[in-house]
Structure 1
Amino acid sequence: MRPAKKGRITERLASVLDFACGSGSLLLNVRKRMGAHGIGKIFGQESNITTYNLARMNMLLHGVKDTEFEIFHGDTLANDWDILRELNPAKKPSFDAVVANPPFSFRWEPTDAMGDDVRFKNYGLAPKSAADFAFLLHGFHYLKDDGVMAIILPHGVLFRGGAEERIRTKLLKDGHVDTVIGLPANLFYSTGIPVCILVLKKCKKPDDVLFINAAEHYEKGKRQNRMREGLDDKPNDIQKIIETYRFRKEEDRYSKRVSMERIAKEGYNLNISRYISTTVEEDEIDLAAVHKDLVNSERDVVDATKKYNTFLKELGLPIILIPD
């Protein structure tokens, strides 16, 4: 997919799924970037009935025809949407793009039967304390072989152990993790913590993972930070991420392509700080020059004290002793 000059994507997507769509804002933003005719159909799922109705209303208010979207009210983790529960693998629905911003570290109660669920059985179940990887595996299951998935998650998924480590390791060994993008803190109304975007593909070509550390590239706001879009001669933080992702560019303290061999040595830990250093090197101190400056400063102090003592002596006042 290639961004056009005005930031739109020139290649058309037949379908886009957001399985935790909320009010539909993420889907609408994808449609805006793609252009009104850049997406064949939008699919969304939302468990909260009020938010589900708001999502449907949002679509219509933004000019999306009722034939161009389908929003379903239901539980994503229980997979209770009929169109997604096709048992015949040959008829399984799949999407060109999957996007999501699911609830972070959502506590869930997986049943024993879910261990055999087609979405999870090859990876294992996410822990009860955090359904982050359950959401990820749900969306990834319905991604086309040549599709792209982008999901916003807390940084914990990058390094937490236990069941999450096993899922993460298999995704990496299978070559499905394409890019890890670290975002600034306090970007979202729902949380102030820094989050990351995981980009996944089923048929990834490069044998490495691209890390982008965009955590320091933002404009600070009174209540909420925001990523700049190049307005009023300000940097374009969003476009910088896009360009770095498109061309897999490397930049000191910002982005790096890391081989699978290196990631394996790190125990399949994806903590961004392991691969991209954000520390600023301190200037080297010229001790000889500093010593010379100190000697000159001391000489100046002595000369000034002598001159001052001359005035004190004329006034009959005690003079200041000058150390040897």
Structure 2
Amino acid sequence: MKAIAERNPELRDVFENIDFLQFTSSRENTEMLGQLVEIFSAKPLHHVSPDILGDAYEWILHYFAPQKAKEGEVYTPREVIKLLVEILDPEPEESVYDPACGSGGMLIISYRHVENLHGKEGAEKLFLFGQEANPKTLALSKMNLYIHDIRNAQLAHGDTLLYPKFKEGDGQKRFDIVIANPPWNQDGYSENELKKGEFWNKRFRYGFTPKQSADWAWIQHMIASADEDGRVGVVIDNGCLFRGGKEKAIRKGILRDDLVECVILLPEKLFYNTGAPGAVLIFKKNKPDERKGKVLFINASNEYEQHPEVRKLNRLGDEHIEKIASAYREFKEMDGFTRVVDLEEIKENDYNLNVTLYVFPEEEVEEIDVGKEWEELKRIEGEIMEVEERIEGYLREVGV
């Protein structure tokens, strides 16, 4: 394994974070590993498309996602990532940064998005960056990108909120697109803790988060990591839209600077580790003139289908992704689905970004044919009268 790692330096982290010696100390594991080697040796894979191999690897990650969720790790459903990427729309020559990259899904789907629109040559011109705090998860991410034949990515290990690894000059590096599903309600990042990190005065300029939830610390880091024309998309806990205290103060500052472009309420039961609905927030530092001073709210709580493999889960179908992404692009009102809201109204609502405060799905009203229903009622009443007459006849026969 050491020799393989030396010959493949881009995979060094993969081998360093998997203890094959400890794994094979068990006779059962040794036998299992031997069988796997025999199976893969019998099936040459050098002619198999990287997309097929990558999909197989993604399937394995997806298969173990429920168990990993119980252990506290977060697997972002690929449909949610597709929605986010459709909205942010990365292009060749742009940079994409995921500060909580996990298994690399955000970067891979960004790459595929560009490849589908601009071909392999265009995708090779997309610059991918990611940081992950868990070394074993980082190893999975590197393997995932490698199997997908994606070589234009730079991944780093470290605590992003304290020690961002991508730097430029004497500050943090800035990117065209910043995209992430960071840990929701992560605790342990109080003001004192965040001030131990690098560039804290530039990254957390809107304020510090409460110790029990770092949601807005992640969001501020992402906004600070975007360049002057950058786009930011984050999947986050719905509660951060309306909680008070320090989080409200941060929301207030970000809204006053007119950085929030769109807030999307997702359906419930999309994620393995929680049944609660998440939210997608889109930020832009340089909004188009027609969107300045406004925020688009999209209530997508009903845009789902039942998950085909996991009965207790829902998922976004292709038609739902397209409907939501189109609503974002069109930036117009649709009854019960979207609403464009002036910042002044949000201010009047105490800087509350709860989507249901601004747009609520319309309930389908069943049309009633009064004449038809009246005829049905008379028919039922006639049947009741016939039954009553029969009962009275039976009672007379028995002398009651």
Distance 1:220 1:172, change over 3 A: same
1:19-63 CA distance string (max 9 Å, x none): 000110111111111214245210000010111111111111111
Query: How does the TM-score come out when normalised to structure 2?
Result: 0.67
Distance 1:289 1:197, change over 3 A: same
Aligned AA (2:231): V
Matches within 5 A, 1:209-288: 209-221=295-307, 222-229=311-318, 236-280=319-363, 282=365
1:253–1:277 Cα contact (<8 Å) kept: yes
Query: Structure 1, unaligned stretches of length 5 or more?
Result: 1-6, 230-235, 320-324
Matches within 5 A, 1:70-109: 70-81=154-165, 83-84=166-167, 86-87=169-170, 92-109=172-189
| Of 139, 147, 157, the match for 1:61 | 147
SS of 2:219 mapped into structure 1: helix
2:97–2:179 Cα contact (<8 Å) kept: yes
For residue 277 of structure 1, report the CA deviation from its aligned partner: 1.7
1:258-305 CA distance string (max 9 Å, x none): 111211111110111101122526569899998897678656644664
SS of 1:168 mapped into structure 2: helix
Which is richer in helix? Answer: 2
| Of 70, 75, 92, the match for 1:12 | 92
| Of 113, 118, 142, the match for 1:33 | 113
**Equivalence for 1:187:** 270
Aligned AA (2:284): K
1:114–1:120 Cα contact (<8 Å) kept: no
1:15–1:42 Cα contact (<8 Å) kept: yes
Aligned length: 300
For residue 70 of structure 1, report the CA deviation from its aligned partner: 0.3
Distance 1:299 1:30, change over 3 A: same
1:64-113 CA distance string (max 9 Å, x none): 12xx11000011011241x327435xxx5211100001111001234548
Query: Structure 2, unaligned stretches of length 5 or more?
Result: 1-85
How many angstroms apart in 2 are the aligned matches of 1:208 and 1:97? Answer: 21
How many angstroms apart in 2 are the aligned matches of 1:298 and 1:142? Answer: 72
Distance 1:84 1:118, change over 3 A: farther
Query: How does the TM-score come out when normalised to structure 1?
Result: 0.82
How many angstroms apart in 2 are the aligned matches of 1:303 and 1:50? Answer: 76
**Equivalence for 2:211:** 128
Q: Looking at CA atoms only, which structure, 1 or 2, has the larger radius of gyration?
A: 1
Distance 1:316 1:123, change over 3 A: closer
Identity %: 33
Aligned AA (2:149): G
